[in-house]
Chains A and B, each alone.
Chain A
Amino acid sequence: MHWSLIVYCGVITFLTRFSMIFLLKKDIFNNKTKKILSYVPAAIFPAIIFPPIFLDNSGSLDLENNPKIWAAVIAIFVGYFSKNIIATIFAGLISYWFLIFVI
């Protein structure tokens, strides 16, 4: 790998963060647009969350005896009731370890 590729990747990453802040001015969005944009985290994060949980190393769907699914369900359950970010993560990680090492 060349350093030039890393720099290009750094530049494109910076531009994804900078361009909208640089181009858009205040009050360009109406309330409906803002409402839709408030869904951005809900629209993006699951795309990062789902594939590593539901797909195995070869990229095919893995639904049977998949400890990650159960651990994620427990994490959601704990998160829903505790509203605590750390508790959610540790509940997921500990139940995952329990499922792969103990059971």
Chain B
Amino acid sequence: MNNKLKTLAKGIFDVSPLMIPVFPFGIIYGVIGMELGIGPYMTLGLSIIIFGGASQIVLLQLFSGGASSLVIFSSVGAVNSRHLLYGAVLSEHLSTLKLTWKIILSYVMVDQAFAVSNTYFKNNRKNENKHFHLLGAGFTCWTIWQISTILGIVLGSVVPEELGLSFTISLTFLALLINDFRKFKNIIVMSVSGIVATIGFNSIPFKAYIIVAALSALAVAALLTLMNSKEK
């Protein structure tokens, strides 16, 4: 197997465990889309055009609450603004690629793909085909997301709401952080983010609580990093 295929396969393999919770998430999204009456085409259309689970759920919540287009648009932008930071982290590894590659990889740069490919990039700096890892991880996420969305559309209201499957959204992101629980500084950063988001959930306009919480936590992270470097 040549290096490109091998790296692609590694990307698919690495991201696969993270797809188990994504699948019910996609089903929930599909069911919610149908329940709110936007129809099967728009429900799937959101998954293809936006391709960002958390922001799609936020969009549906706001739409059903009668929010204006401008608020919905700003909120989707705010929820997805975390990708700016992902892009900044990954740019180091992707800057030499052609524009077409950058466009394709940007389209599939979701949370799970970023998490596994960022780790891979750090450990395999010399692999000149390392971007194939993100391609494999990203399109695995894409395929699973579309299939689960369709399944959710088909299932409609068959899945009982009592199962509380939306809780798996929190659990998925929590599971992505298990290695951070070992480091005291990371626990501080995570607490700041979580507490600011919880307090700001209602008080910060445009559902911008995610980016406000993230920037507050990053400011704390910067402070901790600078303090640490002075000690040395």
Binding site for B on A (CB under 8 A): 1-3, 5-10, 12-14, 16-29, 32, 35-55, 59, 61, 68, 71-72, 75-76, 79-80, 83, 85-86, 88-89, 92-93, 96-97, 100
Contact B171 A52, beta carbon cutoff 8 Å: no
Binding site for A on B (CB under 8 A): 17-18, 20-21, 38, 42, 45-46, 49-52, 54-55, 59, 63, 69, 72-73, 76-77, 80-92, 94-96, 99, 102-103, 105-107, 109, 111, 115, 162-164, 166-182, 185-186, 189-198, 201-202, 209-210, 213-215, 217-218, 221-222, 225-226, 229
Q: List 11 A-B contacts (CB under 8 A).
A: A9-B46, A16-B80, A16-B82, A17-B87, A22-B99, A41-B177, A43-B221, A44-B85, A75-B174, A80-B178, A92-B167
Complexed CA–CA distance, A75 and B13 (Å): 23
Contact A85 B82, beta carbon cutoff 8 Å: no
Binding site secondary structure of chain B: helix
Residue of A nearest to B88 (CB): A20
Q: Out of A12, A47, A71, A79, which one reaches B80, CB within 8 Å?
A: A12
Q: Within the complex, what minimum Cβ distance (angstroms) separates B103 from chain A?
A: 7
- Chain A residues closer than 8 Å to B50, beta-carbon distance: 6, 9-10, 13
Contact B179 A83, beta carbon cutoff 8 Å: yes
* A-B residue pair count with CB separations less than 8 angstroms: 263
9 shortest A-B CB distances, which residue pairs? Answer: A20-B87, A50-B194, A46-B194, A43-B217, A10-B49, A47-B197, A79-B178, A39-B221, A18-B106
- Known interface pairs A45-B174, A50-B195; A40-B89 also in contact (CB < 8 Å): yes
Complexed CA–CA distance, A88 and B91 (Å): 31
Q: Within the complex, what minimum Cβ distance (angstroms) separates A76 from chain B?
A: 6
- Chain B residues closer than 8 Å to A71, beta-carbon distance: 167, 171
- Chain A residues closer than 8 Å to B109, beta-carbon distance: 17, 21
Contact A5 B69, beta carbon cutoff 8 Å: yes
- Chain B residues closer than 8 Å to A54, beta-carbon distance: 198
